[in-house]
Amino acid sequence: MDADEFQLVRDMFRTFAGRFGVAAADVATADRADAQKALDALGLDELRRGLPPAAAVQDCALLAEEHGKQPLCTSLLGTGLLAPELLRLLGSSAVPGGKPTVAFARDLRFPSGDTDEFAAWDCEGADVALCIAADGTVSVGALGVESPSADLLRPVRHVVDDTEPHILGRLDTDAHARWQAFALVMVCGELTGAAASFLDQAVDYAGDRRQYGRPIGSFQSVQHVLADAAVLVEACVSATRYAAWCLDHESPRVALTAARVAKAEANSSARDVVYAGMQVFGGIAQTWEHAAHLYLRKVLAGAGLLATTADLLTILAAPEADR
């Protein structure tokens, strides 16, 4: 996708996000189905279906950033990006049972051993789940009822146990590494977008909020907090975009290592940025009506998704041949 085409897609998505962004006080009454239909109508799930794909991984990561910037109750990552990429790597175009999303282990991390318990995250509008086992085997499962999640904007649904699951295929070693790297990069993109957006809001607030007759942004202590947070955002941006570039240009092994580094960075930095922003907002950020808790929930849930920092640092510390 060339620069002009991508700009058109991003502008289209920004228009959608501006229309369907959810206010904190309206989370319980948000029309998820209507918003998901509007997102599906944009055709973003076609970006990674073709051979070669219409959009580079770098383009998809930037769209994931855009999705993270607004409180949205739509599923761009699970159904719009991850499921099509998995099907592309499998060489499959059809899934029995309806529109697919992706499912991971019950704790929403990459499966690390034999498991028959899966859960689907970011699955709004999906009918079935693609369950990826630790050995790369992909099966199709039915989605059960929603279960509580820290992220109020994103449903989690357990996959209904099936004694005879439908096996769709199996990823080879390179395809499995590429799949994991792609999933990590998309989540990193959303975490980066959430952190950057909340920091921008905090900076704007610091310019407007006045105490002792001056904007609080003129106080050096506030400037230091915001400056440190800006450095953390740039670290997330740099690590995530490099990992996306690696998926487009490097081997799956190199791309997976870069994606693990990016996720380890984003897990901690995105959280710390939101904490810093909440300090600047002060007491208002502790209220239900303010959007702060939506961003905080998003980054805390995202930090535990697919792989925690402890998981990643343990893997990255191991000799390269053992990863």
The answer to the question of residue 181 being in a domain is: yes
Tell me whether residue 286 is in a domain. yes
Is residue 193 situated within a structural domain?
A: yes
**Is residue 157 included in any domain, yes or no?**
no
User: 126 in a domain, yes or no?
Assistant: no
Compute φ and ψ for 256, nearest 5 degrees: -65, -40
Whose tokens are 């977008």? That residue is 193
DSSP string, 228-294: HHHHHHHHHHHHHHHHHHHHHHS-HHHHHHHHHHHHHHHHHHHHHHHHHHHHHHGGGGGSTTSTHHH
Q: For the domain that residue 201 is a member of, what is the CATH number?
A: 1.20.140.10
**153 belongs to a structural domain:** no
Mean pLDDT of 219-231: 97
pLDDT at 259: 98
Q: Are 89 and 31 in contact (CB under 8 A)?
A: no
Domain count, the chain: 1
Residues of the domain holding 208: 174-322
Give one DSSP letter per residue of 206-224, joined into a string.
Answer: HHH-EETTEEGGGSHHHHH
**Terminal CA-CA length for the chain:** 33
Span 282-316, pLDDT tens digits: 999 999 999 999 999 999 999 999 999 999 999 99
pLDDT band at 163 (very low <50, low <70, confident <90, very high): low
30-39, 157-166, 197-206, 289-298: least confidently modelled range? 157-166
Reported as type and span, the H/E element at residue 19 is helix 3-20
Separation CA 82–CA 93 (nearest Å)? 14
Give me the mean pLDDT over the 155-171 stretch.
85
pLDDT at 242 over 70: yes
pTM for the whole structure: 0.95
Cβ neighbors of 56 (< 8 A, separation 6 or more) are: 1, 244, 248
Q: How far is CA 192 from the centre of its chain?
A: 9
The answer to whether residue 296 sits within a structural domain is: yes
159 found inside a domain: no
Q: How confident is the model at residue 165 (pLDDT cuts 50, 70, 90)?
A: confident
Report pLDDT digits (tens) over 41-93. 999 999 998 888 999 999 999 999 999 999 999 999 999 999 999 999 999 87
Element at 177 (helix H, strand E): helix 173-208
How far apart CA 18 and CA 21 sit, in angstroms, is 6
State how far the Cα of 89 lies from the Cα of 87, in Å rounded to an integer: 5
Which residues, 6+ apart, have CB-to-CB distance to 278 below 8 Å? 285, 286, 292, 296
Residue 323 has pLDDT above 70, yes or no: no
